[in-house]
Amino acid sequence: MKRDRRLSPISGFAAVVLGGVVLGHSVAAQEAVTVASTTSTEQSGLFNELRPRFEEATGIEVHVVAVGTGQAMEIARRGDADHLFVHDRDAEVEFVEDGYGQERQDVMYNDFVLVGPAGDPARIAQADSAPEALERIAQAGAPFASRGDDSGTHRSERRLWDKAGIDPEGAWYRELGSGMGPTLNTAAEMNAYVYTDRGTWIQFDNRQNLEILLEGGDGLFNQYGSVLISEERHPHLRHDLARQWHEWLLSEQGQEAIADYEVQGQQLFFPNADSDASHQ
């Protein structure tokens, strides 16, 4: 019997923390670090690969608050998580410069893709770039499902609309305010175009009539960063545990764990902690 791997939404602003804890710290006595991260790292299944390896190496549990990048950064600003692991590089650098973080480093990357109906009514597969593809969708008034949740994916999508010189609005453009998995489910039901990270798309099984129609090119690179939260601003956090998690992600062991994670024979994320751009 085929396993139903349809992705389900993360309920509430940040109320769901995997591992049976609420926002903040574990009610259990053993050591644990709370990570504010994205729905793409969780719904792609990556944390299911990383957490057991880290816990085996250190004895430290990892509890994940999986929300959009914007919400994850707000949680970190308030001091309600020990560590930040998201994918909006410019915003992460600003987070550190504004004094909320004390260190930010590249960890891994993949890319974004434009997915849509196999018949491709807007003919975006013929576009030379992602902004041109979005322009074709707008001109055709073809249904487009947007996360609309201030996530890293949504922010990237909005930057592409800006490059296209379009402010998307109208009945054809649906802002859902939900994570990547639920947005993909809605797009499949609507037979709509959608902008998604490749990792969640590979993991997603409820594709129905959808397929990748545009990939590669400028603006579709998807960098993830690890950010240590300021000890001065939030001294109550578990900074020692957060640093162990941060350094493990950047270590050979952590980078190998990221590279090892595959779904259906496809690697979802590519480690790049040793890239020239990693230190900010």
Using pLDDT thresholds of 50, 70 and 90, give the confidence band for residue 37. Answer: very high
The per-residue pLDDT for range 135-175, each reduced to its tens digit, is 999 999 999 999 999 999 999 999 999 999 999 999 999 99
H helices of the chain, where?
A: 39-43, 46-58, 69-78, 89-97, 130-140, 152-164, 180-190, 198-203, 239-250, 252-260
- The Cα–Cα gap between 60 and 249 comes to 14
Binning pLDDT at 50, 70 and 90, where does residue 205 land?
A: very high
* Average pLDDT value for the chain: 89
Query: d(Cα 203, Cα 259) in Å, to the nearest integer?
Result: 16
Residue 6 pLDDT: 41
Distance separating alpha carbons of residues 254 and 267, to the nearest angstrom? 15
Nearest-angstrom CA–CA distance, 225 and 166: 29
Q: Do domains 32-109+223-271 and 111-215 have the same CATH topology?
A: yes
Share of the chain above pLDDT 90, in %: 83
Tell me the whole-structure pTM to 2 decimals: 0.84
> Residue 127: its pLDDT value, please?
97
pLDDT at 279 > cutoff 60: no
Instruction: Give the pLDDT score at 275.
Output: 67
Residues 106-126: pLDDT tens digits? Answer: 999 999 999 999 999 999 999
Q: What's the fold here for domain 111-215?
A: D-Maltodextrin-Binding Protein; domain 2 (3.40.190)
Whether 94 and 66 have beta carbons less than 8 Å apart is answered as: no
Highest average pLDDT, of 14-23, 111-120, 211-220, comes from 111-120
| SS3 of the chain: helix, strand, coil, percent, to 5 | 35, 25, 40
Decide if domain 32-109+223-271 falls under CATH 3.40.190.10: yes
pLDDT tens-digit readout, 227-238: 999 999 999 999
Annotated domain spans of the chain: 32-109+223-271, 111-215
From the centroid of its chain, how far is CA 147? 12
Residue partners of 51: CB distance under 8 A and separation at least 6: 61, 62, 64
| Dihedral sign, Cα of residue 11, residue 15, residue 21, residue 24 | positive
Backbone angles phi, psi at 106, to 5 degrees: -60, 145
In the predicted structure, residue 11 carries a pLDDT above the cut 50? no
Give backbone dihedrals phi and psi of 30, rounded to 5 degrees, phi first: -70, 160
- Supply the pLDDT for residue 43: 86
